[in-house]
């Protein structure tokens, strides 16, 4: 069991303003994992005040970059020393399979961020039109409020905290109520690394605490991962307060299978791209567009590929699909699938809760046919293991259908002709496009078009969102 009886604020562990706790139970079998105290609005006030003081008066923003990176390196080493323990905790907490290695992925992101920060142009020369020579200095934006989602909490936290701290910002981080425990390892890492007081503060809470933090007058920057509905609210508040925001929101990613594609290979990528993280991934390939004259062949290949993915105990290294993170998430998937059937969709595979795992929040990997692109299940983010397979008449039709959605996070194009695939990729309005592969990789900018948000993470561009440009001419 993992228990936290205090909050990490101002460089130390302090009592919360309430005795209320957030309990975590395994989504695989309901067993007790641990708990933490819940932050109150007064605790958030204290955290923001600590971050504000550390930014305005503390040493962190004024330290040389090399010194900040040395502290971050010690944080990374602390996480690495506990990798196996944290991998297991992350899996028990949110049900993502142990094969994902949630702590290892976060360590890899630390490694990238440390190297990228060393090469980022925090200062460079520029000459104006009239010959005036200037120094362009990128300075830290200030106090950053960071809010992450439950599907990859440690990775997302490192993706926000590491570039923010490297840039010289201070941070107030709010973990999600479903998965706060693994994130609090960052507090332990900060303490072990000697991070100055107030530079990182962690306040576990739920939606109300997140809203309070986003609207706090002491915050200079908001970085959020979550739903488009929440992102719209955060964008409105940030705009009203004239505070910068990075919003990594939902997706309804398309996998476009061109007529010449290797169907078996494409089906395998689509199946894994949809069902990884039990479909709880904003970048999940949840719409597969296949040629109408090869529809039956493509559907059979996709069903076979999905059916081959092992579902079971997430702590078993051979499991690919585990449970959904919560009962609320499971109910949401059931509602979408039942609604799709009522709208005329047909179930080619799955469609129900996993019968022999009644103690957990498992849903069968599901493939739907007879879906049209205007159905709710094809337009909205299900956030579960549900794949819609849709036919198209021409490549132009496939591109039009892929773009006919409010989201634009990722997409994939499948073809044996690389040039043809790239031409189609350039026509799809999404932030990342994979050619014969799922999109996204640490080191490449990740973020979306349209309702998928704005700003880029997990790449050199992440530093842009935590800095202000000053011209000294």
Q: Cα(199)–Cα(337) distance, rounded to whole angstroms?
A: 45
**Residue 358, C-beta contacts closer than 8 angstroms, at least 6 positions apart:** none
For residue 453, give both structure tokens: 């948000």
Q: Cα(313)–Cα(320) distance, rounded to whole angstroms?
A: 9
The residue with tokens 């209320």 is 20
Q: Which positions are catalytic?
A: 248, 282
Task: Quick: pLDDT tens for 140-177.
Answer: 999 999 999 999 999 999 999 999 999 999 999 999 99
Task: Quick: pLDDT tens for 92-115.
Answer: 999 999 999 999 999 999 999 999
CB-based burial label for 74 (10 Å; 0-12, 13-18, 19+): middle
For residue 267, give both structure tokens: 């089906």
Q: Using alpha carbons only, how large is the chain's radius of gyration in Å? A: 23
- Could you give all domains of the chain from N- to C-terminal order, each with its CATH number? 2-249+452-472 (3.40.605.10), 253-441 (3.40.309.10)
pTM of the model: 0.96
Q: What is the pLDDT along the chain (473 residues), one digit of tens a residue?
A: 799 999 999 999 999 999 999 999 999 999 999 999 999 999 999 999 999 999 999 999 999 999 999 999 999 999 999 999 999 999 999 999 999 999 999 999 999 999 999 999 999 999 999 999 999 999 999 999 999 999 999 999 999 999 999 999 999 999 999 999 999 999 999 999 999 999 999 999 999 999 999 999 999 999 999 999 999 999 999 999 999 999 999 999 999 999 999 999 999 999 999 999 999 999 999 999 999 999 999 999 999 999 999 999 999 999 999 999 999 999 999 999 999 999 999 999 999 999 999 899 999 999 999 999 999 999 999 999 999 999 999 999 999 999 999 999 999 999 999 999 999 999 999 999 999 999 999 999 999 999 999 999 999 999 999 999 999 99
Cα distances (angstroms) measured from residue 264 to each of 45, 257, 318, 443:
55, 11, 22, 29
226 contacts 249 by C-beta, under 8 angstroms:
yes
Q: Cα(201)–Cα(44) distance, rounded to whole angstroms?
A: 9
Q: How high is the pLDDT of residue 462?
A: 97
Q: Cα(31)–Cα(357) distance, rounded to whole angstroms?
A: 13
Sheet of strand 170-174: strand arrangement: 12-14, 7-9, 200-202, 170-174, 143-147, 221-225, 244-248, 453-454
Burial 291-312 (b: 16+ CB within 10 A, else e): bbeeeeebbebbbebbeebebb
Cα-to-chain-centroid distance, residue 8? 23
């Amino acid at each position: 069991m993992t228990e936290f009886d205090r909050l990490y604020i101002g460089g130390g562990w302090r009592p919360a303003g309430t005795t209320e706790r957030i309990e975590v139970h395994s989504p695989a079998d309901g067993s007790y994992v641990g708990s933490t105290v819940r932050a109150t609005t007064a605790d958030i006030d204290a955290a923001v005040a600590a971050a504000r003081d550390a930014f305005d008066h503390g040493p962190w923003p004024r330290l040389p970059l090399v010194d900040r990176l040395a502290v971050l390196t010690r944080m990374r080493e602390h996480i690495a020393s506990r990798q196996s323990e944290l991998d297991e905790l992350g899996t028990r907490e949110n049900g993502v399979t142990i094969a994902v290695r949630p702590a290892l992925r976060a360590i890899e992101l630390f490694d990238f961020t440390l190297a990228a920060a060393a090469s980022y142009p925090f200062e460079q020369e520029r000459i104006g039109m009239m010959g005036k020579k200037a120094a362009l200095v990128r300075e830290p934006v200030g106090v950053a409020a960071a809010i992450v989602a439950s599907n990859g909490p440690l990775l997302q936290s490192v993706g926000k905290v590491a570039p923010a701290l490297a840039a010289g910002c201070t941070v107030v981080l709010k973990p999600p109520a479903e998965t706060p425990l693994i994130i609090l390892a960052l507090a332990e890492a900060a303490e072990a690394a000697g991070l100055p007081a107030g530079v990182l503060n962690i306040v576990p809470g739920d939606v109300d605490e997140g809203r309070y933090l986003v609207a706090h007058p002491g915050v200079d920057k908001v970085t959020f991962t979550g739903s488009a509905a929440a992102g719209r609210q955060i964008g409105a508040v940030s705009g009203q307060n004239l505070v910068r925001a990075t919003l990594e929101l939902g997706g309804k990613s398309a996998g476009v299978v061109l007529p010449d594609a290797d169907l078996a290979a494409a089906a395998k990528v689509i199946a894994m791209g949809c069902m990884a993280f039990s479909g709880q991934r904003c970048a999940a390939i949840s719409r597969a567009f296949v040629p109408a004259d090869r529809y039956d062949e493509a559907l059979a290949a996709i069903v076979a590929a999905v059916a081959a993915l092992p579902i079971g105990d997430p702590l078993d290294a051979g499991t690919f699909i585990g449970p959904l993170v919560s009962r609320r998430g499971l109910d949401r998937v059931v509602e979408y699938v039942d609604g799709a059937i009522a709208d005329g969709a047909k179930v080619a595979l799955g469609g129900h809760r996993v019968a022999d795992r009644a103690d957990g929040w498992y849903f069968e990997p599901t493939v739907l046919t007879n879906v049209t692109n205007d159905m709710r299940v094809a337009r909205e983010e299900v956030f579960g293991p549900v794949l819609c397979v849709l036919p198209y008449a021409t490549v132009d039709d496939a591109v039009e259908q892929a773009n006919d959605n409010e989201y634009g996070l990722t997409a994939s194009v499948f073809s044996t002709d690389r040039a043809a695939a790239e031409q189609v990729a350039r026509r799809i309005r999404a932030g990342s496009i994979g050619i014969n592969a799922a999109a996204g990789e640490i080191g490449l900018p990740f973020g979306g078009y349209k309702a998928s948000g704005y700003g880029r993470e997990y790449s050199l561009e992440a530093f842009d969102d935590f800095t202000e440009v000053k011209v000294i001419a």
